[in-house]
Structure 1
Amino acid sequence: MGAGWAWVLTAVLAASPEPKVVSPLIKVRPGAAVEGRAEAKLSVARGECEATQVVLPGAIERVTAQPLTLRAEGQSLTASVWREAYLDVKTPSNSQGRTGPWPDALVPVETPGEPSLPTVLYVEVCAPEAQAPGKYRGELRVKADAKAMAAVPFTVEVQPFVLPATASLPTSFGISLYSIAKGHGVAPESPEAQKLLRDYARTLLEHRVSAHGLGMDAPPVRFEKGRAVVDFQAYDAEMAPFLDGSLLPSGARFTTADVRDSRKASTEEEKVAYYRAFAEHFKSKGWDAQLFFYAKDEPKPEDVPLVHTQSKRVRAAGKIPVLVTSPLDEALKGTADILTPTLNCFFPRPGPQTCRNILPISKLRARLPADTKVWWYQSCNSHGCNGGPMTEAATERAYTGWASYMVDHPAPLNRAMGPLAFLTGVDGELYFDTVFAYNTQDPWKNLFEFGGNGDGTLFYPGTPQRLGTSTHQPVVSLRLKHLRDGLEDYEYLHLLAKLGDAESAKALARRLTRSGYEIEPSPAEWDTVRQALTSRLRARWENSEYAKRPGVPR
Structure 2
Amino acid sequence: MGAGWAWVLTTVLAASPEPKVVSPLVKVRPGVAVQGAAEARLSMARGECEAAQVVLPGNIERVTAQPLALKGPGSTLTASLWREAFLKVTTPSNSQGQPGPWPDALVPVETPGERSLPAVLYVEVCAPAEQEPGTYRGELQVKADAKAVAPVPFTVEVQPFTLPATASLPTSFGISLYSVSRGHGLSPESPEARSLLRTYARTLLEHRVSAHGMSMAGPPVRFEKGRAVVDFRSYEEEMAPFFEGGLLPSGARFTTAEVRDNRQARTDAEKVAYFRAFADYFRSKGWSAQLFFYAKDEPKPEDVPLVRAQSARARAAGNIPVLVTAPLDDALRGSADILTPTLNCFFPRSGPETCRRVMPISKLRTQLPPGSKVWWYQSCNSHGCNGGPIADASAERAYTGWASYMVDHPATLNRAMGPLAFLSGVDGELYFDTVFAYNTKDPWKDIFEFGGNGDGTLFYPGTPSRLGTKEHQPVVSLRLKHIRDGLEDYEYLHLLAKLGDPQGAQALARRLARSGYEIEQDVEKWEQVRKDMTTRLRQRWENSEYAKRPGVRP
For normalisation by structure 2, the TM-score amounts to 0.98
Compute the displacement of 1:95 (Å): 0.2
Q: Which deviations, in whole Å up to 9, do the C-alpha atoms of 1:310-338 show, x marking residues without a partner?
A: 00011000031000000000000010000
Compute the displacement of 1:7 (Å): 9.4
Aligned 8 A contact 1:10 1:33 in 2: no
> Counterparts of 1:24 and 1:90 in 2: how far apart (Å)?
24
Q: CA RMSD in A?
A: 1.2
Residue aligning to 2:227: 227
Residue aligning to 1:3: 4
> Counterparts of 2:55 and 2:277 in 1: how far apart (Å)?
54
Percent sequence identity over matched residues? 78
Compute the displacement of 1:8 (Å): 11
Equivalent residue letter for 2:55:
V
Aligned 8 A contact 1:8 1:35 in 2: no
> Counterparts of 2:279 and 2:175 in 1: how far apart (Å)?
22
> Counterparts of 2:91 and 2:411 in 1: how far apart (Å)?
18
Residue aligning to 1:213: 213
Q: Counterpart of 1:480 in 2: which secondary structure?
A: helix
> Counterparts of 1:249 and 1:231 in 2: how far apart (Å)?
30
Runs of 5+ unmatched residues, structure 2: none
Q: Which deviations, in whole Å up to 9, do the C-alpha atoms of 1:335-393 show, x marking residues without a partner?
A: 00000000000000111110000000011111111211000000001100000000100
Aligned 8 A contact 2:171 2:211 in 1: yes
Equivalent residue letter for 2:471:
T
Q: Counterpart of 1:369 in 2: which secondary structure?
A: coil
> For this pair of structures, how many residues does the alignment match?
552
> Counterparts of 2:151 and 2:222 in 1: how far apart (Å)?
64
Residue aligning to 1:401: 401
Aligned 8 A contact 1:14 1:118 in 2: no
Residue aligning to 1:443: 443
> Counterparts of 2:222 and 2:216 in 1: how far apart (Å)?
19
Compute the displacement of 1:273 (Å): 0.4
Aligned 8 A contact 2:7 2:37 in 1: no
Q: Counterpart of 1:546 in 2: which secondary structure?
A: helix
> Counterparts of 1:446 and 1:144 in 2: how far apart (Å)?
28
Compute the displacement of 1:191 (Å): 1.2
Aligned 8 A contact 2:11 2:37 in 1: no
Residue aligning to 1:324: 324
Aligned 8 A contact 2:245 2:253 in 1: yes
Residue aligning to 2:31: 31
Compute the displacement of 1:23 (Å): 0.6
> Counterparts of 1:9 and 1:440 in 2: how far apart (Å)?
43
Residue aligning to 1:539: 539
Compute the displacement of 1:550 (Å): 4.4
Compute the displacement of 1:14 (Å): 3.7
Compute the displacement of 1:5 (Å): 3.5
Compute the displacement of 1:548 (Å): 2.3
Residue aligning to 1:143: 143
Q: Counterpart of 1:156 in 2: which secondary structure?
A: strand
Residue aligning to 1:463: 463
Q: How does 1:123-202 map to 2 (within 5 A)?
A: 123-202=123-202
> Counterparts of 1:372 and 1:552 in 2: how far apart (Å)?
31
Compute the displacement of 1:547 (Å): 1.8
- Are 1:117 and 2:112 an aligned pair? no
> Counterparts of 1:337 and 1:9 in 2: how far apart (Å)?
51
Compute the displacement of 1:35 (Å): 1.5
Residue aligning to 1:488: 488
Compute the displacement of 1:74 (Å): 5.2
Q: Counterpart of 1:264 in 2: which secondary structure?
A: coil
Compute the displacement of 1:73 (Å): 3.3
Aligned 8 A contact 2:408 2:453 in 1: yes
- Are 1:80 and 2:83 an aligned pair? no
Residue aligning to 1:249: 249
Q: Which deviations, in whole Å up to 9, do the C-alpha atoms of 1:446-480 show, x marking residues without a partner?
A: 00000000000000000000001111000000000
Q: How does 1:399-438 map to 2 (within 5 A)?
A: 399-438=399-438
Equivalent residue letter for 2:317:
A
Residue aligning to 2:62: 62
Residue aligning to 1:478: 478
> Counterparts of 1:278 and 1:139 in 2: how far apart (Å)?
52
Aligned 8 A contact 1:105 1:475 in 2: yes
Residue aligning to 1:299: 299
> Counterparts of 1:279 and 1:31 in 2: how far apart (Å)?
55
Residue aligning to 1:287: 287
Compute the displacement of 1:16 (Å): 1.7
Aligned 8 A contact 1:29 1:103 in 2: yes
Q: 1:270 to 1:418 in 2, by over 3 A?
A: same
> Counterparts of 1:334 and 1:552 in 2: how far apart (Å)?
40
